[in-house]
Amino acid sequence: MNNHNIIITEEEIKNKIAFVGKQLAAEYRGKPLLLVSILKGAFVFMADLCRAIDAPLEIGFMCAKSYYNGTVSTGTVSITLDLDQDISKYHVIIVEDIVDTGRTLSLVVDNLKARNPLSLKVVALLDKPSRRLVDFDADLSLFTIPDLFVIGYGLDCDEKYRNLPYIAEFKG
Ligand code: 5GP
């Protein structure tokens, strides 16, 4: 395909996830751990990350939409698919595809904090710090990228390209 350039290869993703998976296993082994993936973009990252963590864990999925007044966040997030676990019994890691403006994730974090998890951490595959509009950072980002629109490895353009095994800049 010639409408996109690979910026992070399949092998780079695999190596970084193996490294982070070992770190997380050491940190959470012996603790009740719940990985929470935000659909749809994080589903591929979730599938690989959970298999790289050699420790008992559970998984959950959420779908969240944030509402804007023009370009200003109203501060409300609508959970269109919610967890079925009571998270007060778990150490929770939110597994996200990309932190862009930071709006959605900051609202999801507030929402989950209100449910009193034992602890809460955010692990993001990608970070676009130059796009940030709210004061929010993931606890751990695997790759920092410039202000590009990217596809692949779960990320879409009009619902396509999620199945590409690498991250690419979409050129339209
Ligand atoms: P925000 O941080 O602005 O609230 O929203 C983050 C969401 O916007 C991500 O979870 C992702 O679904 C989407 N997004 C942000 N940047 C990109 C990008 O470069 N490519 C794709 N496909 N989605 C993006």
The CATH number of 5-169, from 3.40.50.2020, 1.20.120.450, 3.40.50.920, 3.20.20.30, is 3.40.50.2020
Omega before 40 within 30 of 0, i.e. cis: yes
Any ligand 1 atom below 6 A from CB of 127: no
pTM of the complete model: 0.94
- Angle at the Cα of 40 from the Cα atoms of 147 and 153, rounded to 5 degrees: 55
Predicted confidence at residue 147, as pLDDT, reads 93
Non-local (6+) Cβ contacts of 164 within 8 A are: 151, 152, 153
Distance from C-alpha of 162 to C-alpha of 172, rounded to nearest angstrom: 15
Query: Which residue's CA is the closest to the ligand 1 atom numbered 16?
Result: 100
Q: Which atom of ligand 1 is nearest to the CA of 104?
A: 4
Query: Higher confidence at residue 52 or residue 77?
Result: 52
Predicted confidence at residue 78, as pLDDT, reads 83
Per-residue pLDDT, averaged over 34-57, amounts to 97
- Other Cβ atoms less than 10 A from the Cβ of 85: the count is 16
Query: Higher confidence at residue 71 or residue 13?
Result: 13
Q: What is the β-pairing status of strands 119-127 and 167-170? A: unpaired
Predicted confidence at residue 22, as pLDDT, reads 98
Any ligand 1 atom below 6 A from CB of 101: yes
Any ligand 1 atom below 6 A from CB of 169: no
The yes-or-no answer on residue 137 being catalytic is no
